Structure 1
């Protein structure tokens, strides 16, 4: 057995039957729902519960991350959107027209994450526009987290259905 076949046996390129893909999917959505606009959600809970210094820390880190997200969106936004659409379209064509399973997996992970990115930019703009702080900031971050979790749940469900379909059809055909 040569090195090449050993590596590809360890790293199965059939994504939907690979445990590592499902671990990566779970970690990606867990991280996306914990880090709301770059702010760890436990800071929101602690600020709501304790107040004082925890509240000031939350407002500071939220302000920094809102400014960072909006700066990136305003300066590089059109280029990032164009590159993202090119990559996602290329992966979708490779995956669903040419039946490359790895590309399908990337689309099923990347497309919903793109929606979360749009949600984050919109939430950041709203926080800046409203100059949100205190309970209003908590509400905006909590709502952004809830929508992220809803997108993630739907994404995992659709990915699981598609993965089961792929595994069953390849099991019957292959």
Structure 2
């Protein structure tokens, strides 16, 4: 029967005390700051250092990804604008009004990621317009991606701190009832 208790502890829905939740938080924010608008950050560094072919590859990938995200937003933006706030408010109500810790954890995961998505859509729309007019220098693409990464990291740090404090509060509150 010991193995069943171990398995139950591994898949426990009390998210803030679960190691898997914190691993997922770390992986998501690490990936979000590495893949800036679909462009891997090491490619930006290589384009800064070496120039030439690395820069043209970076600009091409940034153009492809910005047009892709711009097209997705143009075709499905209305649906996303309706469904995602609905899902966020559902998670907020079930989590913070009715006390479902799993919903709280998902809300604290999804809300900052929605801000990152909004910033990415905004950047992709600006870059797509500039790519179409062919008035964008490679240095401007690198600078735009660097600024975008700083904003993603700032949102990620704030999200991790808020989630950590809320998780500690929930764990202490839960421990008081034991």
**Which secondary structure state, in structure 2, belongs to the residue aligned with residue 12 of structure 1?**
coil
1:142 aligns with 2:146: yes
Shift of 1:152: 0.3
Q: Residue 105 of structure 1 corresponds to which residue in structure 2? A: 105
Shift of 1:133: 3.3
Shift of 1:164: 0.5
Q: Residue 49 of structure 1 corresponds to which residue in structure 2? A: 49
Shift of 1:40: 0.3
Q: Structure 1: which 5+ residue stretches go unaligned?
A: none
Q: Residue 172 of structure 2 corresponds to which residue in structure 1? A: 168
Q: Answer yes or no: is the 8 Å Cα contact 2:10–2:18 preserved in 1.
A: no
For residues 12 and 4 of structure 1, the distance between their equivalents in structure 2, rounded to whole angstroms, comes to 12
Q: Answer yes or no: is the 8 Å Cα contact 2:34–2:40 preserved in 1.
A: yes
Which among 151, 159, 165 is matched to residue 155 of structure 2? 151
Q: Residue 71 of structure 2 corresponds to which residue in structure 1? A: 71
Q: Structure 2: which 5+ residue stretches go unaligned?
A: none
Q: Residue 39 of structure 2 corresponds to which residue in structure 1? A: 39
1:109-158: CA deviation from partner (whole Å, max 9, x where unpaired): 00000000000011111212333331100000000000000000000000
For residues 2 and 159 of structure 1, the distance between their equivalents in structure 2, rounded to whole angstroms, comes to 31
For residues 5 and 16 of structure 1, the distance between their equivalents in structure 2, rounded to whole angstroms, comes to 19
Figure out how many residues of one structure are paired with residues of the other and give that number. 174
TM-score by length of 1: 0.95
1:18-66: CA deviation from partner (whole Å, max 9, x where unpaired): 1110000000000000000100011111011101110111011111100
Once the two structures are overlaid, the 10-residue window that deviates more, 131-140 or 97-106, is 131-140
Q: Residue 28 of structure 1 corresponds to which residue in structure 2? A: 28
Shift of 1:7: 3.8
- CA-based RMSD: 1.5
